[in-house]
Amino acid sequence: MMVHKKLQAWIEEVATMCQPDQIYWCDGSQEENDRLFQEMVNKGQAIRLNPEKRPGSYLFRSHPSDVARVEDRTFIASGKKEDAGPTNNWVDPVALKKTMTTLFTGSMKGRTMYVIPFSMGPIGSPISKIGVELTDSPYVVVNMRIMTRIGTAVLETLGADGEFVKCLHSVGVPLKDGETDAAWPCAPIEEKYISHFPDQRTIWSYGSGYGGNALLGKKCFALRIASVQARDEGWMAEHMLILSITDPQGNKKYVTGAFPSATGKTNLAMHIPSLPGWKVETVGDDIAWMKFGEDGRLRAINPEAGFFGVAPGTSLESNYNAMRSIEKNTIFTNVALTDDGDVWWEGIGYDAPEHLIDWKGNDWTAADSNALAAHPNARFTAPAGQCPVIAPEWEDPAGVPVDAILVGGRRPNTIPLIHESFDWDHGVFMGSTLSSEITAATISNDIGQVRYDPFAMLPFIGYNVCDYLQHWIDIGAQPEADKLPKIFYVNWFRKDESGKWLWPGYGDNSRVLKWVIERVSGQGAAVKTPIGYMPSPDAIDTDGLDISAAEMKALLYVDKKLWLQNVDLIKAYYAGFGDRLPQSLRLQLEALEQRLTAL
């Protein structure tokens, strides 16, 4: 194989700093995968699940402190502070490298440094990008093998001088001679650093083994670094699902969707439509990379190859296709273990057996345990190809042409079930105001407050949020604007006065998608309102749905008073972005206020 001089030099530089006992190049083979799992089982770091129940599947239990992304310890070290913007933690890159070099020095002693060449997106697609992760965690290797395409084929594509993103990761626990390893080695919180050097296309992650902090292809590369690459190269890296929807006549359309956490993104990506004859297929459940094709259409790929989903709450009823996807070859982290070697979690859809081992490794009995058996952020890592409704074209290197973009928040009032933007810039305005209300279900003093999460990207934009929104505006400035996807704002979470959800959600969301694709096909009855185009009274297909005309009216009602309050909230939120906010968004807000006042 050709020698990639820059890659070799970087590996040597890192090895000199981290001082691993050995360096191992991952080829991505099944044999290698089996061997790594076996080694982790032998060391007590992994538990092989019952092969009769979950073939090829394993359970890991993290350190109780290492269970989620650490946003306080996540840094965007751009050259200038303004380039990280008001929403990111900025540290001077030179100072940060210095601090982290001290930590990384000798951090891999007693361990193997794995070299993982990986492709985000189908190998060789013009939209795909290559990264190389150097890590001392075999847990990271086996997860990256599911979540991305890894190994020899990637190195061949990289060739002798291909570009790659440098991803360095260490759990931050060097081992002395003969010292036994922890079940889940990680560093204390104040030593954790999830650092991005966007100008150098480099990630340095130290001290955590958890998914979003350690599987560097995911949020660190595919969103934070890729959003910067996308800005520079004229494409988009977004926190979006991708699905296809086919009507009974066989017409297929593609929809992407940005939804903040806890709004059912994975569920929507693979839902089973309640409308007879309609079919939904999954292209991706978390990240979309979108680039204009030669035909002038915006085309999307899923840069990932697996699902890293939240287990609790996943059941045959809430997400049948996710449950089918995790029947085999799946890594479970922080779920409970049953006595017969299978998994259990809260909301799995059936009662816990009498005895379990909980996510901390302790005995748990249904009779006398109030503690959760699975951590609320317990995860499954499963190959996307195992999803029963994976779209046959999900790995098409050309991507799929995007017809509609959804943005969705979680608001008990104000925002209707669906509205469509007047044009692209108005759609960017909508996406910039994506928000969720903190409800009584969350223990918080902020009940009733609205939290903004522009395009569900708040923790994932690798540069200044204002420049990011300007980039969205720039993407829309196309000579063939009629080829752009249409943008829609959905809110599945509107409530009536008694606090009851008005919309059933799940498979019935396809009724809303039906109107969306009717609109992009030039049909679909709509009325013009101050906030956008909305379905005319009978335009949403409620056939067979137990919902009254009054309830539908409430779901689609635009309350002038609440909307004017909403405008004030957006003003305050925009004020936090300062002068760099795109002028066109300021104008959108003014125009909205004028239309509402005239109502």
Instruction: List residues binding Mn ion (CB under 5 A).
Output: 286
Residue 281 has φ and ψ, to the nearest 5°, of: -125, 155
The C-alpha angle 488, 548, 496, rounded to 5 degrees, equals 70
Quick one: 121 or 211, whose CB is closer to ligand SAT? 211
End-to-end C-alpha distance for the chain, whole angstroms = 69
Q: For the CB of residue 538, give the shortest distance to Mn ion in the complex, in Å.
A: 36
Contacts of 445 (CB under 8 A, 6+ apart): none
69 binds, among ligand SAT, Mn ion, none (CB under 5 to 8 A by kind): ligand SAT
Going from the C-alpha of 401 to that of each of 142, 272, 481, 484, 493, the distances in angstroms are 32, 22, 14, 10, 29
User: Which among Mn ion, ligand SAT, none contacts residue 63 (Cβ within 5 to 8 A by kind)?
Assistant: none
Question: Is 284 one of the annotated binding-site residues?
Answer: no
Q: What is the DSSP letter of 423?
A: S
Which residue's CB comes closest to ligand SAT? Answer: 212
Instruction: Give residue for tokens 């189908």.
Output: 122
Closest to Mn ion by CB, 210 or 344? 210
Q: Is 219 annotated as a binding residue?
A: yes
Nearer to ligand SAT, 150 or 287 (CB): 287
Q: What's the min distance (Å) between Cβ of 305 and ligand SAT?
A: 15
The option from Mn ion, ligand SAT, none interacting with 514 (CB < 5 to 8 A, set by class) reads none
Q: How far is the CB of 386 from Mn ion (least distance, A)?
A: 19
Q: Least separation, in Å, of the C-beta of 239 and Mn ion? A: 6
- Contact range with ligand SAT by CB under 6 A, out of 16-24, 210-218, 244-252, 357-365: 210-218
Question: Which range binds ligand SAT by CB under 6 A, 86-94, 211-219, 292-300, 539-547?
Answer: 211-219
**Residue from 28, 211, 303, 412 in contact with ligand SAT (CB under 6 A):** 211
H-only helix segments in 417-532? 424-432, 465-476, 509-520
Binding mask 271-310 for ligand SAT (x = CB under 6 A): -------------------------------------x--
**Near ligand SAT by CB under 6 A: residue from 69, 253, 291, 411:** 69
Instruction: Give the one entry of ligand SAT, Mn ion, none that residue 303 binds, where binding means its C-beta sits below a cut-off of 5 to 8 angstroms depending on kind.
Output: none
> What does 508 interact with, of Mn ion, ligand SAT, none (CB < 5 to 8 A by kind)?
none
The residues facing 381 across adjacent strands are 308, 331
Out of Mn ion, ligand SAT, none, what residue 218 binds, judged by CB under 5 to 8 A for its kind, is: ligand SAT
Residue 213 or 491: the one with the smaller Cβ distance to ligand SAT is: 213
Residues 235 and 291: beta-carbon distance below 8 Å: yes
Q: How far is the CB of 542 from ligand SAT (least distance, A)?
A: 32
From the CB of residue 581, how many other CB atoms can be counted at a distance below 10 Å? Answer: 19
Size of site (CB under 6 A) for ligand SAT: 6
Total H helices, total E strands in the chain: 16, 31
Min CB(376)–ligand SAT separation in Å: 12
* Residues in 564-583 at the binding interface with ligand SAT, rule: CB under 6 A: none
What residues between 212 and 231 interact with ligand SAT by CB under 6 A? 212, 218-219
CB 386 within 8 A of CB 327: yes
Amino acid (1-letter code) at residue 513: L
Q: How far is the C-alpha of 397 from the C-alpha of 158, rounded, in Å?
A: 16
Q: How far is CA 9 from the centre of its chain?
A: 32
Q: Identify what 308 binds: ligand SAT, Mn ion, none; CB under 5 to 8 Å per kind.
A: ligand SAT
* Residue 210 marked as a ligand binder: yes
Q: Tell me whether residue 68 or residue 183 sits nearer to Mn ion (CB atom).
A: 68
Closest CA to 516 of 204, 254, 136: 254
List the single partner that 212 binds among Mn ion, ligand SAT, none, CB under 5 to 8 Å by kind.
Answer: ligand SAT
Q: Is residue 378 annotated as involved in ligand binding?
A: yes
Rg for the chain (alpha carbons), in Å? 24
- What tokens appear for 233 in the block? 């190269």
Query: Between 83 and 286, whose beta carbon lies closer to ligand SAT?
Result: 286
DSSP labels for 83-150? HH-TTS----HHHHHHHHHHHHTTTTTTSEEEEEEEEESSTT-TT-EEEEEEES-HHHHHHHHHHSEE
Cα separation of 273 and 508, whole Å?
6
212 assigned ligand-binding residue? yes
Is 73 a binder of ligand SAT (CB under 6 A)?
A: no
Count of C-beta atoms within a 10 Å radius of residue 87: 20
**CB-nearer residue toward ligand SAT: 62 or 432:** 62
* 357, 60 contact by CB (below 8 A): no
Place of tokens 């239990």: 61
What's the closest the beta carbon of residue 344 comes to ligand SAT, in angstroms? 21
Alpha helices in 204-294 (DSSP H): 211-214, 226-233, 265-269
Distance CA 309, CA 208 (A): 19
Strand order of the β-sheet with 236-238 is: 236-238, 288-292, 298-301, 400-401
Binding-site members for substrate are: 69, 210-212, 261, 377-379
Q: Residues at the annotated binding site for GTP?
A: 379, 410, 506-509
Residues that bind ligand SAT (CB under 6 A): 69, 211-212, 218-219, 308
Annotated binding site for Mn(2+): 219, 239, 286
Residues tagged in the binding site annotation: 69, 210-212, 219, 239, 261, 286, 377-379, 410, 506-509
